[in-house]
Amino acid sequence: MEDDIDLMRIALEKAREAALSGEVPIGALIFDPSSKTVVTSAGNAPISLHDATAHAEIRALRAAGEALGNYRLTDLWLYVTLEPCAMCAGAISHARIGRVIYGAPDPKGGAVEHGPKFFAQPTCHWKPDVTTGILADDSSEMLKSFFKTRRKGTQNGG
pLDDT means over runs of 10, the chain (158 residues)? 90 98 97 97 98 98 98 97 98 98 97 97 96 97 91 60
Query: Inter-axis angle of helices 86-95 and 56-68, to 10 degrees?
Result: 20
d(CA 16, CA 19) in angstroms, rounded, equals 5
Predicted TM-score (pTM) of the model is 0.93
Q: Please check if 88 is assigned to a binding site.
A: yes
Residue ranges covered by each domain of the chain: 1-152
Domain 1-152: CATH superfamily is Cytidine Deaminase, domain 2 (3.40.140.10)
Active-site residue, from 2, 13, 57, 66: 57
d(CA 105, CA 111) in angstroms, rounded, equals 10
Q: Please check if 94 is assigned to a binding site.
A: no
Annotated active-site residue 57? The verdict is: yes
Cα 140 to Cα 3, 32, 48, 71, 91, distances in angstroms: 20, 26, 23, 30, 23
What local confidence, expressed as pLDDT, does residue 142 receive?
97
d(CA 11, CA 5) in angstroms, rounded, equals 10
What local confidence, expressed as pLDDT, does residue 37 receive?
96
What local confidence, expressed as pLDDT, does residue 56 receive?
98
